[in-house]
Structure 1
C-alpha cells in the first residue's frame, strides 16, 4: 500500500479553516460526525470523485481515482473540517507511521486550536 499525503487536500483543508468552515468539536466525536456511506455516495454522485478526494489527507496509489478505497484519513463531513476528524487522522497516521500525513494533520489541529 503506497499511501502518501494529498497536498491538494491539505491545502483545501487549510483554506476551509481560514474561511471559518470548521467545527471545533471534541476528540471522541468523530464516529458521530463523519459522513455515512450513503452521504458519501450521494456526494460522489453529485460532485464526483475529484471533489470527494479533497476530504481525505491520504491517497493510496494502489487504487484508481474512481474508487473510495483510494482515499484515506478523512478530516471533515464533506462540508466542514472537524477537529475530531483531524485528530483521528493525526492519531491513525502516527500509528501507521505515515509521517507526512501525521505532520499535516498536526498542522491542521494547531490551526483549529489557535485562538481567534
Structure 2
C-alpha cells in the first residue's frame, strides 16, 4: 500500500483551523464524531469524490481514483476539523509508519491546541 500525505487535504485542514473552523473535543470522541458511511455517501453524492478527499490526510495511490478507499486518515466532519480526528490520524499514522502524515497531523494538533489558550 502506497499511502502518502494528501497535500491538498492538509492545506484544506490548515486553512480551516486558521479560520477557527474547529471542534476542540477530547481524544476519545472521534468514534462518536466521525461521519457515518451514510453521511460519507451523501457528501460524495452532493459534492463529489474530489471534495470528499479533502477531508483525509492520506491518499493511497494504489487504489482507483473513483473509490472512497483511496482516502485514509480522516480529520473532520465535512464542516469542521475535529481535534479528536486529528489526534486519531496522528496516532494511527505513527503506528503504521506514515511519517509524513504523522508530522502533518502533529502540526494540525499544535495549531488546534494553540487555539485553546
TM-score bracket relative to the smaller structure = over 0.9
Whether 2:103 is the aligned partner of 1:106: answer no
Using the size of structure 1 for normalisation, the TM-score is 0.98
SS of 1:114's equivalent in the other structure is helix
Rounded to whole Å, the distance in 2 between the matches of 1:42 and 1:54 is 15
Whether 2:19 is the aligned partner of 1:19: answer yes
Rounded to whole Å, the distance in 2 between the matches of 1:77 and 1:38 is 12
Rounded to whole Å, the distance in 2 between the matches of 1:66 and 1:21 is 28
* Residue 37 of structure 2: aligned partner: 37
Rounded to whole Å, the distance in 2 between the matches of 1:71 and 1:5 is 10
Using the size of structure 2 for normalisation, the TM-score is 0.97
Q: CA deviation at 1:64?
A: 1.6
Rounded to whole Å, the distance in 2 between the matches of 1:15 and 1:32 is 24
| Structure 1 residues 66-113: Cα deviation after superposition (integer angstroms, max 9, x where no partner) | 101000000001110000000000000000000000000000000000
Q: CA deviation at 1:65?
A: 1.7
Rounded to whole Å, the distance in 1 between the matches of 2:17 and 2:65 is 25
Please, what is the CA RMSD of the aligned residues? 0.8
SS of 1:79's equivalent in the other structure is coil
Rounded to whole Å, the distance in 2 between the matches of 1:48 and 1:63 is 17
| Structure 1 residues 20-76: Cα deviation after superposition (integer angstroms, max 9, x where no partner) | 111010000000000000000000000000000000000001112210100000000
Rounded to whole Å, the distance in 2 between the matches of 1:65 and 1:81 is 24
* Residue 54 of structure 1: aligned partner: 54
Gaps of at least 5 residues in structure 2 are none
